[in-house]
Amino acid sequence: MPDSYVVQDNDCLSSIAHRRGFSWQTLWDAPDNADLKNLRKDPNVLCAGDVVVIPDKVLKKVDAAVENRHRFKRKGIPAKLHLRFLDAAGKPRKNLPYKLKVDGVLSSGETSGEGRVDVSIPPDAQCAQFTLTDSAGKVLDLYEFTLGQLNPVTTVSGLQQRLVNLGFNCRPVDGTFSPATRAAMNCFQRSMKLAETAAPDDATRQKLLERHGS
């Protein structure tokens, strides 16, 4: 019998699915979650209080030769972390060495020609620390991310999170549309050549989604 799960702070669909033994695609495409899918649009942007229906598991049978070795890969594992780094002029910070620590596990690499980093992470990862360096190993910037905590752009906290991530200071991120939040939003609107508004409008939210990437 299907079960219902109420989304908590720090949850995303990938972490919920991982704990319940599903891929996030299975939960996202389940008919019982159609209303949630239509509301949130993005599987990794849920809000505390949302309800995810957990369907019954279906036994899958696969024909395989007894004496051969077979490899099966579970869908949704690993999850993917996608980042892009731009300078103040909006140009990619390309070909820079980096170190990434996810829940204490360290890896390294180099940003792409477009300033992108695409890495595999556990579906239930909680935090990431990202360090950009020059070719000599000198630290240029240090970023810390909490994973699975991005709220929908239709909420004030989701608006604040995206503004902060894009470099527009509106702290604290507390879900209150404060004077600091409005000033940061207006600064973003000016930079995007949008009309400055007293409250978030659809054009501002859409541009935030485009610039932020989610």
- Residue 101 clears pLDDT 90, i.e. is over it: yes
- pLDDT-based confidence at residue 181 (cuts at 50, 70, 90): very high
In this prediction, residue 138 carries a pLDDT of 92
What value does the mean pLDDT take over residues 19-39? 93
In this prediction, residue 77 carries a pLDDT of 66
- pLDDT-based confidence at residue 72 (cuts at 50, 70, 90): low
Model pTM?
Answer: 0.70
Cα–Cα distance measured from residue 65 to residue 63, given in angstroms and rounded to the nearest whole number: 7
- The set of residues, in sequence order, having a beta carbon less than 8 Å from that of 169 and lying 6+ positions away, is 180, 184
Per-residue pLDDT tens over the stretch 119-175: 998 888 889 999 999 888 899 999 888 887 789 999 999 999 999 988 898 888 899
- pLDDT-based confidence at residue 57 (cuts at 50, 70, 90): confident
What value does the mean pLDDT take over residues 8-14? 87
In this prediction, residue 25 carries a pLDDT of 92
- What the chain holds in terms of domains, given with CATH numbers, is 3-54 (3.10.350.10), 79-146 (2.60.40.10), 156-212 (1.10.101.10)
